[in-house]
């Protein structure tokens, strides 16, 4: 019973730590609207800071966005910050920090003054979802024929300017770009596919691919302690269980040994008692023999007395 109670307590501790870890990871999050990694110059975008009352977005390297002071708004789940006109200098990574110092996920955007952009999700997508990629021409709003590339390899041609990746999987991750005949080619942006258990980081364009790799390494390193802690607790749980198991097994052996020893003692005592009874029987026999002998002596003496009595009588008769 004690072993079972201890295991339940350790399991509850692990579950609570994992729950706290999930709360820390997902307590604050950053979204972007529209959810695309590339923008034309002078377009606007809005950052949504979930879990905080004031959206103070930081633009790498640790430079606060001044327009957030004027456009900050409260939302039902947090707050928002709008940048009305973006410029190529606004390209890069964005994030914010919560009130307790926890850091949100990062979002990378790319702003160009060119003629073609690829509209691709800036935030990670879930496995199994359908992802739409759109190639946009700055000079025209109508759909035009476009070529789409994955790591430089042509994956499709669309007359409408967009393609849909159905049932997206981890194999669909990577750098994408598009081109429009007579207009030009877009920058490369990275599509990130998440399986629901790992944190991912979106890289916006080819020049930032090295930075995004560092981000993924940093994210993996930061999550490593939370992986190690449950493993250590699990090992301790197994060790404690083994200790109690062997302790219980040893106690059982000692108990069995104690149960066996009194049986052997009683057997020995019984043998001694039997021996004593034999001695008493022999003593009784000896006692009986002695009494019989005495009785024989008495009878012998009585015979002698009868002989003595009969002697004088004979003398009288003879006279």
pLDDT in tens, 67-110: 888 999 999 999 999 999 999 999 999 999 888 888 999 999 99
| Strand ranges (E), 90-195 | 92-95, 107-112, 116-119, 125-126, 131-137, 146-150, 153-158, 162-165, 174-180, 184-185, 189-191, 193-194
The mean of the pLDDT values for the chain is 74
Per-residue pLDDT tens over the stretch 265-299: 444 445 444 444 444 444 443 444 444 444 444 45
Report pLDDT for 99.
80
d(CA 41, CA 87): 5
Question: Token pair for residue 229?
Answer: 């802690």
d(CA 105, CA 189): 18
Question: What percent of the chain is modeled with pLDDT above 90?
Answer: 45
Average pLDDT of 124-142? 93
For residue 86, give the nearest of 34, 41, 136 by alpha carbon.
41
| Whether the predicted pLDDT of 14 surpasses 90 | no
Report pLDDT for 178.
97
User: 3-state DSSP call for residue 45?
Assistant: strand
pLDDT band, very low/low/confident/very high, at 315 (cuts 50, 70, 90): very low
> Of the ranges 23-32, 60-69, 213-222, which one carries the lowest mean pLDDT score?
213-222
Query: Which helix H or strand E contains 227, and what residues bound it?
Result: helix 209-318
Average pLDDT of 164-169? 96
> Of the ranges 39-48, 125-134, 217-226, 250-259, which one carries the lowest mean pLDDT score?
217-226
d(CA 241, CA 6): 9
The more confidently predicted of residues 79 and 307 is: 79
Per-residue pLDDT tens over the stretch 148-161: 999 999 999 999 99
Q: Answer for the pair 170, 200: CB distance below 8 angstroms, yes or no.
A: no
Report pLDDT for 259.
59
For residue 204, give the nearest of 135, 109, 136 by alpha carbon.
109
Average pLDDT of 27-37? 93
């Amino acid at each position: 019973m004690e072993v079972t109670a201890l295991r339940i307590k350790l399991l509850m501790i692990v579950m609570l730590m994992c729950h706290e870890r999930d709360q820390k990871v997902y307590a604050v999050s950053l979204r972007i609207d529209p959810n695309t990694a590339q923008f034309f110059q002078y377009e606007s975008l809005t950052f949504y800071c979930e879990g905080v009352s004031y959206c103070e977005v930081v633009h790498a390297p640790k430079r606060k966005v001044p327009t957030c002071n004027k456009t900050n708004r409260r939302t039902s789940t947090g707050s928002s910050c709008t940048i009305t006109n973006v410029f190529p200098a606004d390209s890069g990574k964005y994030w914010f920090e919560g009130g307790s110092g926890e850091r949100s996920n990062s979002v990378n955007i790319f702003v160009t003054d060119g003629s073609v952009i690829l509209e691709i999700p800036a935030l990670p997508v879930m496995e199994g979802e359908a992802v739409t990629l759109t190639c946009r021409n700055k000079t025209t709003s109508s759909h035009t024929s476009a070529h789409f590339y994955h790591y430089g390899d042509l994956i499709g041609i669309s007359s409408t300017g967009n393609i849909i990746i159905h049932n997206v999987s981890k194999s669909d991750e990577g750098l994408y770009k598009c081109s429009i005949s007579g207009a030009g080619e877009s920058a490369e942006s990275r599509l990130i596919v998440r399986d629901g258990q790992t944190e991912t980081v979106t890289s916006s364009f080819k020049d930032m691919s090295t930075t995004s790799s560092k981000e993924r390494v940093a994210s993996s390193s930061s999550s490593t302690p939370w992986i190690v802690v449950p493993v250590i607790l699990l090992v301790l749980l197994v060790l404690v269980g083994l200790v109690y198991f062997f302790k219980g097994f040893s106690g059982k052996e000692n108990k069995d040994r104690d149960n066996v020893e009194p049986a052997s003692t009683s057997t020995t005592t019984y043998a001694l008692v039997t021996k004593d009874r034999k001695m008493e029987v022999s003593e009784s026999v000896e006692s009986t023999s002695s009494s019989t002998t005495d009785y024989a002596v008495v009878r012998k003496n009585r015979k002698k007395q009868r002989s003595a009595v009969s002697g004088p009588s004979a003398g009288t008769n003879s006279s």
